[in-house]
Amino acid sequence: MAPSSLPIVRDATALRAAIAGWRGAGLRIGLVPTMGALHEGHLSLVRLARRRAERVIATLFVNPLQFAAHEDLSRYPRDEAGDAEKLAGAGCDLLYAPALAAMYPPGFATSVTVAGVSEPLEGEIRPLFFGGVATVVAKLFMQTPADVAVFGEKDYQQLLVIRRLVGDLDIAIEIVAGETVREADGLAMSSRNAYLAPDERATAGKLNVFLRDAVAQLRAGDAIAAAEAACAARLAEAGFKPIDYVAVRDAETLAPLVTLDRPARLLAAAWVGKTRLIDNFPVRPAKTGVS
């Protein structure tokens, strides 16, 4: 493949030099942080950033801080040349792909912790994850600095953690959420879908179907606990194992809910073979019929 024409910078100094002209001209800068292995979901975030800003920077950094020792850091898919090509086609202006030593030089000793919204669900299963995400995202925000940053709703809890981080630290970057992009059968696009064998891929496509059915059940008035349990049972029957969680939570705080009396989110994480899938859908309170 011919190298892409997209400029690539490798450290924060080169990044600042590359965007100095944009800042001097008062251009609005959009940021799309990624770990690469880009698919249509990422590219939709780039296009969304493009609508909100005059210049778009994508970042590509497989952040070791957000992987536990037993997780898939070493096998995480990597294709920088292919990613650069896709980004250029989606309207990205610059790729920031720092080397590990540029992000975490010897002696690096700072970590960012977001309490509260990072603690349930993913936080219980992957206790290192959100600390790693918050630390790297805080660094990327300092290094850029952008006017707007776009994150996918597919990683819904991550989006809430980043909103909290930005609010708590008075970081002047607008956080914009991009809708989850799905395959024809509704499977949420994810770099990790590449791990799925054909039979696993068929099973994976059922996650979104069962979640949508659970949302419909909730809107029809079923109790939260019953809808969660029914969805988990269908996932188990279809071959998902283990099922990390199927949970209806407050859409902003992720606090557990007993009744559907406010905007909520149904979130799930479950494994197909060696691949962990996550997905989520909004659950709006059912109409009462009283207008």
Q: Which residues are catalytic?
A: 42
- Asked if residue 267 lies in contact with residue 157, where contact means CB atoms within 8 angstroms, the answer is yes
Candidate residues 137, 138, 260, 268; the one interacting with ligand PAF per rule CB under 6 A: 137
**Which of 95, 137 has the CB closer to ligand PAF?**
137
98 touches ligand PAF (CB under 6 A): no
Cβ-based neighbour number of residue 81 at 10 Å: 11
Provide the β-strand partners of residue 266: 248, 281
Which one of residues 8, 48, 87, 133 is an interface residue with ligand PAF (CB under 6 A)?
133
In this chain, which stretch among 31-39, 98-106, 111-119, 264-272 interacts with ligand PAF, using CB under 6 A?
31-39
* Torsions phi, psi for 177 (to 5 deg): -95, 135
Q: From 29-37, 97-105, 166-174, 201-209, give the range in contact with ligand PAF by CB under 6 A.
A: 29-37
Nearer to ligand PAF, 19 or 35 (CB): 35
* Residue of 136, 138, 165, 278 interacting with ligand PAF (CB under 6 A): 136
Instruction: Quote the CA–CA distance of 223 and 251 in Å, as a whole number.
Output: 17
Neighbours of 177 (CB within 10 A): 17
- Cβ at position 264, least distance to ligand PAF in Å: 23
Is residue 205 within a helix (H) or strand (E), and if so which, with residue range? none
Q: Which is nearer to ligand PAF, 117 or 133 (CB)?
A: 133
55 contacts 93 by C-beta, under 8 angstroms: yes
- β-strands 29-34, 55-60: how paired? parallel
> What residues make contact with ligand PAF under the rule CB under 6 A?
33-35, 63, 66, 133, 136-137, 155, 158
